[in-house]
Amino acid sequence: MIKKETMKIISINVIAKETVEMVLQNEYISENAAPGQFLHISVSGCTLRRPLSIAAVNRTAMTVTILFKIIGKGTKRLSEYVEGETVDVLGPAGNGFPLKNLSKKDKVLLIGGGIGVPPLYFLGCTLKELGYDVQAVIGFQSKDFVFYEERFKKLGETIVVTNDGSYGEKGFVTDMVDKITSFDRYYSCGPAPMLKAVTNTFQDKEGYLSFEERMGCGIGACYACIIPTNDGSNYKKICQDGPVFRAEEVSL
Ligand SMILES: Cc1cc2nc3c(=O)[nH]c(=O)nc-3n(C[C@H](O)[C@H](O)[C@H](O)COP(=O)(O)OP(=O)(O)OC[C@H]3O[C@@H](n4cnc5c(N)ncnc54)[C@H](O)[C@@H]3O)c2cc1C
Ligand code: FES
């Protein structure tokens, strides 16, 4: 259940260009967080909360890690917080990645782009703990933006892609189709054009997409986050119904 909680900042570090890793402590959120869920964070000086995915959880230390790219006022201000300060958070928010109906012999592919990579790390750790075979393709703009490569490699075979070829493979995540060994289900998170390309490329596979598009109220009231659907219901709200959807459920 989502709750309003205070989280203490345990550490804050720049881990790649314009990319910040923040570790926050709170017993309730760390105990209840599931992969694909996010924190809706109140940032000082900003009226609206900012949604940021849960990238990792340490239940023993009661910590939750978020990774964010500085793109505007809210993320810039959040990057200026220091250890020991607290943030007001609504969480764990949203419907996470479904894990049901996976069989132990199934191979899972994680496909992440940029700020879509963080929730897939928490998912990958969880799948690995449960004994699944995990592969990952993670894409970034260029070498300077790459993060968590080593961590993903500890989970399973990982391909790093950069748009400009300055690190790893050159191109887009979907260009790596030939290099990916067989898999049964994919989970993907990243910008909408990437999710569209992923859906088109893997039409014959069972897939789940997580959307990180702009949100407004975050509680289903403003319609800022709607996404068209294919199931006759016209649209869904990312904040209330998502952020994770079955690939065939949404129209991109
Ligand atoms: C469920 C969910 C999970 C998310 N998880 C993460 C995460 O783990 N890490 C992370 O870095 N970001 C994540 N995001 C995106 C993050 O919420 C936005 O980057 C952040 O709210 C921007 O706030 P800002 O005040 O810095 O930017 P603003 O000042 O509000 O905007 C600056 C510029 O960025 C554009 N912009 C704002 N939000 C977005 C967006 N979501 N997508 C594309 N362009 C945008 C604006 O139109 C504007 O041009 C997530 C979003 C959602 C909905
Ligand atoms: S953000 Fe307001 S309805 Fe989803």
- Residue matched to tokens 């609206």: 48
Q: Which atom of ligand 1 is nearest to the CA of 46?
A: 25
Which residue ranges form the domains of the chain, and what is each CATH number? 3-93 (2.40.30.10), 107-212 (3.40.50.80)
pLDDT in tens, 73-121: 999 999 999 999 999 999 999 999 999 888 878 899 999 999 999 999 9
Give, in order, the Cα–Cα distances in Å from 172 to each of 44, 92, 142, 192, 237.
36, 31, 11, 13, 28
> What average pLDDT does the segment 166-173 reach?
95
CA distance linking residue 4 with residue 203, whole number of Å: 39
Q: Are 161 and 170 in contact (CB under 8 A)?
A: yes
Helices within 156-231 (DSSP H only)? 192-201
The response to whether residue 74 sits with its C-beta less than 6 Å from ligand 1 reads: yes
Strand partners, 245: 209
Q: Measuring from atom 53 of ligand 1, which residue has the nearest CA?
A: 212
Question: What average pLDDT is seen over the chain?
Answer: 94
Confidence of residue 55 (pLDDT cuts 50, 70, 90): very high
Classify 184 as helix, strand or coil.
coil
The response to whether residue 252 sits with its C-beta less than 6 Å from ligand 2 reads: no
The response to whether residue 68 sits with its C-beta less than 6 Å from ligand 1 reads: yes
**Nearest alpha carbon to residue 250 among 223, 231, 222:** 231
CB atoms within 10 A of CB 10: 17
Confidence of residue 182 (pLDDT cuts 50, 70, 90): confident
| Ligand 2 mutation pick, 2, 48, 50, 217, max ligand atoms within 8 A of CB | 217
pLDDT in tens, 122-166: 999 999 999 999 999 999 999 999 999 999 999 999 999 999 999
The response to whether residue 2 sits with its C-beta less than 6 Å from ligand 2 reads: no
Give, in order, the Cα–Cα distances in Å from 37 to each of 78, 135, 231.
19, 21, 23
pLDDT in tens, 100-110: 888 878 899 99
Q: Which atom of ligand 1 is nearest to the CA of 94?
A: 1
Most confident range (mean pLDDT) of 95-99, 234-238, 248-252 is 95-99
CA distance linking residue 155 with residue 169, whole number of Å: 19
Ligand closest to the CA atom of residue 122: 1
The pLDDT value given to residue 17: 98
